Amino acid sequence: MASFGQIIFWSMIALIIIVAGLIIFILAIAFSGSKTILVETPNKYPVGNIGNDVILDCKFNPLNSKGKEVTQIAIDWVKEGLNGVVYKYDNGVSQLQTQNPDFKDRAQLFPNAISSGNVSLLLRSVQLKDQGTYTCSVRTSSGKGDISVHLKMAAYSSPTFTLEPTANRTLKGVAKTWYPKPAVTWENYDGTVLNGSTSYTNNSAGIFTLALILTKVNSDDTYQCIIQNNLVTSVSHVTVTGNAIKDEHYLVISSATFLLPLKLIFLLYVPLWTLS
């Protein structure tokens, strides 16, 4: 017959085993609820054009480990250093009670795309103050994850050109909105740098307008006007035929903090009309 002490001993062992099992069970539930899911962006360093709309891309896997669609999708977009949310979505609807006033009526998701994993943020009429780091956080029935997107702000526009058929045959251009202040280079089609001139004016917001001049242009020749700051490069091909001109414009968007070598521009350029 077991002694009283042995009964107490084995009772304590059993109690310890039961408590340990409960702890393991609780931890398993907790960790299963906080499983990390993949949240990603195809463009971590977008560049917004002041006064225009910009999309901050964010996507997640809408399927769970069994290949079924996740449920209970919640999305938070926040901006570093800013009180309140930029945008919040939960239980199938927008939750904007704590939205920062700066983003009222300017921020939105794409509701019909959320179930397929697209939780990208549209910002309307962006301004210089919108520059900063945004975090996209996603919570679903499968877990949670987040990704940061670093928005930089610029202003850019393609120049418009006219030809003055005087004795010097002067090619003039105007680029209405640029920020930060860019450098301008004129070249002929074989890459020889030409002596063009540029004058700058800027408004109270610091946005520059450029007046571009190239004199002594030849008929039936093509020129390149390159406008470039550390975020955007504009390349214009201007072909002079008699007293008429034909121009094409291309843009390179870069988050680099240095000027791109001009020889790389033509490996990277994007037709301007594809960015609308």
Whether residue 226 contacts residue 234, with contact meaning beta carbons closer than 8 Å, is answered with yes
65: pLDDT strictly greater than 90:
no
- Cα–Cα distance, 106 to 128 (Å, whole number): 14
Average pLDDT over residues 223-241: 96
According to the model, what pLDDT value does residue 273 have? Answer: 36
30: pLDDT strictly greater than 60:
no
Residues 6+ apart with CB under 8 A from 192: none
Q: What is the pTM of this model?
A: 0.77
268: pLDDT strictly greater than 50:
no
Percent pLDDT > 90 in the chain is 69
274 pLDDT band, cuts 50/70/90, is very low
Average pLDDT over residues 31-40: 74
Computed over every residue of the chain, the mean pLDDT equals 85
According to the model, what pLDDT value does residue 239 have? Answer: 95
- Cα–Cα distance, 179 to 51 (Å, whole number): 12
Joined tokens for residue 20: 């340990």
According to the model, what pLDDT value does residue 189 have? Answer: 84
Strand order in the sheet with 132-140: 47-49, 143-154, 132-140, 74-79, 87-90, 93-94
76-112 pLDDT per residue, tens: 999 999 999 999 999 899 999 999 999 999 999 999 9
Least confident of 12-21, 22-31, 170-179, 252-261: 22-31
| C-alpha 3, offset from chain centre | 74
Residue 128 backbone dihedrals phi, psi, to 5 degrees: -55, -35
According to the model, what pLDDT value does residue 167 have? Answer: 81
115-170 pLDDT per residue, tens: 999 999 999 999 999 999 999 999 999 999 999 999 999 999 999 999 998 888 99
- Cα–Cα distance, 235 to 270 (Å, whole number): 10
- The CATH number that domain 160-275 falls under is 2.60.40.10
Question: Mind giving me the DSSP string for 200-240?
Answer: EEE-TT--EEEEEEE-SPPTTEEEEEEEE-SSEEEEEEEEE
According to the model, what pLDDT value does residue 138 have? Answer: 97
CATH superfamily for 39-154 is: Immunoglobulins (2.60.40.10)
Percent pLDDT > 70 in the chain is 80
Domain ranges of the chain: 39-154, 160-275
According to the model, what pLDDT value does residue 219 have? Answer: 87
User: Would 39-154 and 160-275 be classified into the same CATH topology?
Assistant: yes
- Cα–Cα distance, 55 to 47 (Å, whole number): 10
